[in-house]
Structure 1
Amino acid sequence: MLEERSPDAPARPGAGLTLGVEEEFLLVDPMTGTPVPYAGRVLAGAGEHPSGGHYARELLKSQVEAATGVCRDLAEARRQIRDARAVLVAAAGREGLLLLSTGTPVRPGTVPVSDHDDRYEAISRIYTGVVADYQSCGCHVHVCVAGRDAAVAVVNHLRPWLPALLALSANSPFDRGRDSGHASWRMVEQSRFPGSGVPPVFASAADHDRCVDRLVDCGVLADPAMSFWLARPSPHLPTVEVRAADAAATAGEAVLQAAITRGLVRTALRDLDAGREAPRADPAVCAAAVWNAARYGLEGPGVHPFEERQVPVRRLIADLMEHITPALEETGDLREVRSLLASVLRAGSGAERQRRAAADGAPALIRMLARQTEGKDR
């Protein structure tokens, strides 16, 4: 994912940043909503990605991933996300299955770890019961940044806002058939892994890499690509990778995460260009903010990273938007982001929508999730 800029474009900090989106999905039985271990069949039937991205297996056999190619703007990201979803929905349908975009399964059903993959087998050996039924799905956004030192510096600036991205995306209230009481049970499950949550502040890429290597040497990470922080310099691409969000309920919400994330990265680059250091954000407060976002999503209070107290979550989102508005204006994304955000705030988080649908029974919930994934709702 390389930065591209037309020859006559102004050299603004963060101008021309490309982006990409990775979405994880669950495969379920259409009658019961139970997860099923048929990722291999569905991926074989999906064929090539329609827009230059790729499809892939995930940790468990009930999960599939769709990753866009390099996107220059939100219109291209939206098209690729929708096209990729449509292909996977159709491939699942040919196998008699449904594709659902939800952070955790809504019905119980244990499936095995993907086989014929040495890395997944190593992960299974290290984490044993923690990954035995870890069918958690997220939405990851990559934004191009030139150089790993720049990527680490950008992540330092992003740290305070990562819990707000989680609150916006909360879409996993159910835990194997029961209401967990949380908006993002996925984040609660992820917190069982070492190093989950908001990353520490690092002085450089070398500092970051030394820390990751130490964790590998300590035996708590399978390899240097295994860190669980909510944002990091990508191990494989010239990007900042933000992994705060639950699986996006709709394609529009995936686009919203991509737009806000790119806005945060552009703002960070502007601040770095002006010599402004990353804002102070206490690690304990960041951890409290992540827990709070996982507990309440958009339906309760948020934790303000700088005021270090609970505030109305809409106030927190408003402060986030104020922070990135100049960046969104530069890319021409502000109007679309405001429209997408207003739609989510009106409808409630994905978790709240799941609970409303579940009031009419599990079949109604499964149908609603399928419609959202296909793009038939919102």
Structure 2
Amino acid sequence: MEDAGRTLGVEEEFLLVDPVTRQVSPAAPAVLATAGDPPGEDGCFHPELLSSQVEHATGVCRDLPELERQLGAGRRKLALAAIAHGVRLLSCGTAVTTADAPITAGPRYDTIAGRFAGVVTDYHACGCHVHVGVPDRDTAVAVVNHLAPWLPTLLALSANSPFERGKDTGYASWRAMRQCGFPGSGLPPWCGSAGAYDAMVGRLVDCGVLVDEHMTFWFARPSGRLPTIEVRAADAVTEVREAVLQAAITRALVRTALDDLAAGREAAPVEPQLGAAAVWSAARHGMTGAAIDPFTGARTSAWDRAGRLLEHVRPALEDSGDLATVRRGLGDLRSRGTGAEHQRRAAARSHGADPTAAVVDVLIRRTAPARNPQEWDGLTRAPVTATQDPDPTEAP
């Protein structure tokens, strides 16, 4: 109970890309073998569904500076391991350009591939998942109910996947649309208890649409393995500071929900069609257009929803000392743009060259930047091309 709503951790999923072709590379087994494990209590590295993906899960953190340190260290170690095998680490919600990458070897991955068939064949989708500690599963389910209306805003703030197969999809988060191919995606259904939640998931497993109880696709869920809420709304974000912003807001949402529950305030269910509309709008526009208020169904702007979210969690942010960090992070996003906006600006600066190459090159440089010009002897940089003109709004 003492740590409820205070401890947090982040899982970041990454792509591995060839710096010459800019296509994904099935190098995960070799990269993970070279990377080993993060030092000390800094979490662990994992394979993901496709052999072109790797994941870093931080250890348990109690403050944002420690989380930021672990995230940066994990990215640097994976980036160096990638370089050793001639590939680069890239943080993005979808692959800008794709190539075939086999499913990761293993019985569970084989079962997933057999169950979902073409949906996972080229599912180069990566997310930023935030875990926040809760005291028990009944509380976890009740907290998820409170989080549901705010999850589309977390998606919009993280939107970082406008391109796939070398084309602009027209969406800020195409990853969210790809995820709709799985059963039970989007906002989590309202449940009155852990028992009711487990029974519902069990029915989906029995129906054959989920591989097991650990493989649900909702934007938030009680973790099946840890005493946490797992929030999975966000695209994989390009920079560490964006992941820290997601974590800070998510923890504040959980703490606000815990305070509401302690005061006897239960969450009202979100009407499913309004929830789906809010998710679609967030995926389509990110922070640059309209948004849907899931409470009322009213059409508003994405930044209005972000402002309401900030007011909703302000007491929790003040209590944790994170208010200034979140304000600064939101201000940076508003002035500089989301990852989707950065990618489109990079494509627009290609001056007739391959726009997707420009996008990949920018993402590589920003995913794990060297702390000084000599740190990696320049090896982390993609080949220098005319597409890499710096954008003054993207200065670190």
Residues 1:87 and 2:77 aligned together = yes
Deviations 1:106-149 (A, max 9, x none): 0121211001x111100000000110111100000000000000
On the 8 A contact 2:10/2:58 being kept in 1, the answer is: yes
Q: 1:139 touches 1:243 (CA, 8 Å); kept in 2?
A: yes
Cα pair 1:51 1:68 within 8 Å, conserved: no
1:267 & 1:109 partners in 2: Cα distance?
Answer: 43
Q: Matched residues in 2 for 1:226 and 1:132: separation?
A: 17
Q: State the Cα distance separating 1:306 from its structure 2 match.
A: 1.8
Matching residue's letter, 1:365: V
What residue is the counterpart of 2:115 in the other structure? 126
What is the aligned partner in structure 2 of residue 369 from structure 1? 363
Counterpart amino acid of 2:209? V
Task: State the Cα distance separating 1:307 from its structure 2 match.
Answer: 2.7
TM-fit CA distance, 1:51: 4.5
Say if 2:160 and 2:173, in contact at 8 Å, map to a contact too: yes
Q: 1:38 aligns with which of 27, 34, 37?
A: 27
Structure 2 residue 296 is the aligned partner of structure 1 residue 307: yes
Which deviates more from structure 2 when the two are superposed, residues 361-370 or residues 337-346?
Answer: 361-370
Gaps of 5+ in 1: 6-13
Q: Spell out, residue by residue over 1:29-81, the C-alpha distance to the aligned partner (whole angstroms, 9 max, x if none).
A: 00121001010010011111124200000000000000000001111100000
Residue 256 of structure 2 corresponds to: 267
How far the C-alpha of 1:363 sits from its partner, in A, is 2.8
| 2:184 paired with 1:190 | no
| C-alpha displacement of 1:279 | 3.4
Question: Which residue of the partner structure matches residue 343 of structure 1?
Answer: 332
- Which amino acid in 1 is paired with 2:367? T
In structure 2, runs of 5+ residues without a counterpart are 371-394
Provide the secondary structure at the position in 1 that maps to 2:362: helix
Quick one: distance in 2 between partners of 1:182 and 1:136?
A: 14
The reply to whether residue 146 of structure 1 matches residue 152 of structure 2 is: no
Structure 2 counterpart SS, 1:131: helix
Aligned partner of residue 121 in structure 2, secondary structure: coil
Checking the alignment, whether the CA contact within 8 Å between 1:252 and 1:340 is kept in structure 2 is: yes
The AA in structure 1 aligned to 2:193 is: S
**2:270 alignment counterpart:** 281
CA distance in structure 1 between the partners assigned to 2:356 and 2:115 by the alignment: 34
CA offset at residue 280 of structure 1? 4.0
Partner residue in 1 for 2:50: 60
Write the mapping of 1:1-378 to structure 2, written as runs, cut at 5 A.
14=4, 17-52=6-41, 53-115=43-105, 117-359=106-348, 360=350, 361-375=355-369, 378=396
Alignment partners' CA distance in 2, 1:37 and 1:76:
31
Question: How far apart in 2 are the matches of 1:51 and 1:298?
Answer: 38
- On the 8 A contact 2:145/2:269 being kept in 1, the answer is no
Q: Matched residues in 1 for 2:357 and 2:119: separation? A: 29
Letter in 2 for 1:21: V
Aligned-partner Cα distance in 2 for 1:323–1:249: 26
User: How far is 1:178 from its partner?
Assistant: 0.8
Distance of aligned partners of 1:4 and 1:37 in 2 relative to their CA distance in 1, 3 Å threshold: farther
Contact 2:50 2:103 in 1 (8 A): yes
| 1:196 and 1:230 in contact (8 A); partners too | yes
Cα distance in structure 2, aligned partners of 1:277 and 1:260:
20
TM-score, length-normalised on structure 2? 0.91
Residues of 2 paired with 1:42 and 1:354: CA distance? 26
- Identify which range, 307-316 or 325-334, moves more after superposition: 307-316
One-letter identity of the residue aligned with 2:80: A
TM value normalised by structure 1:
0.95
1:55 aligns to what SS in structure 2? Answer: strand
Distance in structure 2 (CA, Å) of the matches to 1:213 and 1:4: 31
The letter of the residue matching 1:123 is I
CA RMSD of aligned residues (A): 1.2
Aligned AA for 1:91? A
